[in-house]
């Protein structure tokens, strides 16, 4: 009996740890995604979205990413890969939308990059681009570990 109680306690702690890692990964995805639209990677995605002759594609993709985040988090209260990928791409897609939304998102992201270049670079990195790439990479690596762990633990 004592062994099953210990096993249950260990499994509960693992599940909470997995949930914490998932939320940390999601937070890093939000930071990396917010910095991405004014970087080379975000500009590449915006250029690709601009190649399509239909101006409705970016708004539809933006709505799809918002729905994906909502559904993914609603299902088990844990952001899995769909939510993390959506958080990474949502600001870039929003910046691709023609008109005021795209201009506003681009302006906010550029202002954030300028702020990071202004005062955080002496603490973290010489460039906000390096910080963004580090956040994106850490988010994707953590998401990969979280999904494997949650499947192995029977969480997801």
Q: Evaluate the CA torsion angle 98, 101, 103, 108 in order and state its sign.
A: negative
- Predicted structure pTM score: 0.74
pLDDT of residue 146: 65
Task: Give 17-67 pLDDT, tens digit per residue.
Answer: 778 888 888 888 888 888 888 888 888 988 898 888 888 899 999 999 999
Q: Evaluate the CA torsion angle 50, 96, 26, 134 in order and state its sign.
A: positive
Q: Does pLDDT of 125 surpass 70?
A: no
Q: Does pLDDT of 142 surpass 50?
A: yes
Domain boundaries, the chain: 32-153
pLDDT of residue 119: 67
What is the widest separation between alpha-carbon atoms in the chain?
Answer: 66
Q: How far apart are CA 62 and CA 114, in angstroms?
A: 25
pLDDT of residue 155: 47
pLDDT of residue 67: 94
Question: Per-residue DSSP letters for 43-76?
Answer: HHHHHHHHHSS-TTHHHHHHHHHHHHHHHHHHHH
Q: How confident is the model at residue 148 (pLDDT cuts 50, 70, 90)?
A: low
């Amino acid at each position: 009996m004592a062994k099953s109680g210990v096993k249950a306690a260990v499994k509960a702690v693992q599940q909470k740890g997995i949930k914490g890692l998932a939320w940390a990964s999601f937070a890093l995805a939000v930071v990396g995604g917010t910095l991405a639209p004014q970087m080379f990677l975000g500009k590449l995605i915006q250029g690709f979205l601009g190649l399509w002759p239909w101006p409705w594609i970016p708004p539809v993709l933006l709505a799809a990413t918002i729905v994906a985040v909502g559904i993914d988090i609603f299902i088990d209260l844990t952001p899995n890969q769909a939510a993390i990928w959506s958080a990474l791409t949502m600001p870039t897609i929003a910046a691709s939308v023609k008109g005021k939304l795209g201009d506003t998102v681009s302006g906010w992201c550029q202002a954030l990059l300028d702020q990071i270049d202004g005062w955080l670079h002496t603490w973290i990195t010489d460039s906000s681009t390096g910080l963004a790439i580090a956040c994106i990479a850490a988010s994707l690596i953590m998401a990969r570990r979280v999904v494997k762990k949650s499947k192995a633990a029977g969480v997801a």
